[in-house]
């Protein structure tokens, strides 16, 4: 379960703020760029958000022992990757002729 940092853990609080700030900045910027090009789809918003999540996680990774909240990002990363694979499979099914690939 996620717990907010205690009073004495200033570094943990700073890395959490840096992660959330970087992720939100990426999501807003990618949404603006996608809307400017008229390419706002569920798959593209998800893909750009997932890339932003990965970049924010790497950007906020502290040196040495990672804080507890940062270690939980592994599960979110794995679930995000599975979701990304589902979108890629859908794209491949649109490109490849019907009957070539097995259906889910």
In a domain, 5, yes or no: no
Nearest-angstrom CA–CA distance, 30 and 75: 24
Total number of domains constituting the chain = 1
Residue 41 near residue 60 (C-beta atoms within 8 A): no
In a domain, 60, yes or no: yes
In a domain, 46, yes or no: yes
In a domain, 91, yes or no: yes
Residue 5 gets the label, from left (phi > 0), alpha (psi -120 to 50) or beta, of: beta
Q: Give residue 56's pLDDT.
A: 86
In a domain, 3, yes or no: no
Q: Which residues of the chain have pLDDT under 50?
A: 1-2, 5, 8
At which residue do the structure tokens 């990363």 appear?
A: 77
The verdict on pTM exceeding 0.85 is no
55 DSSP assignment: H
Q: Give residue 72's pLDDT.
A: 80
In a domain, 4, yes or no: no
Question: Domain containing 74: what range?
Answer: 10-95
39 DSSP assignment: -
In a domain, 103, yes or no: no
């Amino acid at each position: 379960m996620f717990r907010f940092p205690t009073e004495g853990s200033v570094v943990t609080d700073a890395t959490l703020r840096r992660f959330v700030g970087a992720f939100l900045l990426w999501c807003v910027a990618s949404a603006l760029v996608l809307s400017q090009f008229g390419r706002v789809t569920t798959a593209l918003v998800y893909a750009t958000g997932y890339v932003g999540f990965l970049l924010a996680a790497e950007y906020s990774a502290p040196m040495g022992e990672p804080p507890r909240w940062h270690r939980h990002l592994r599960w979110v990363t794995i679930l995000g990757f599975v979701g990304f694979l589902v979108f890629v499979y859908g794209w491949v099914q649109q490109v490849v002729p019907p009957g070539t690939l097995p259906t889910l």
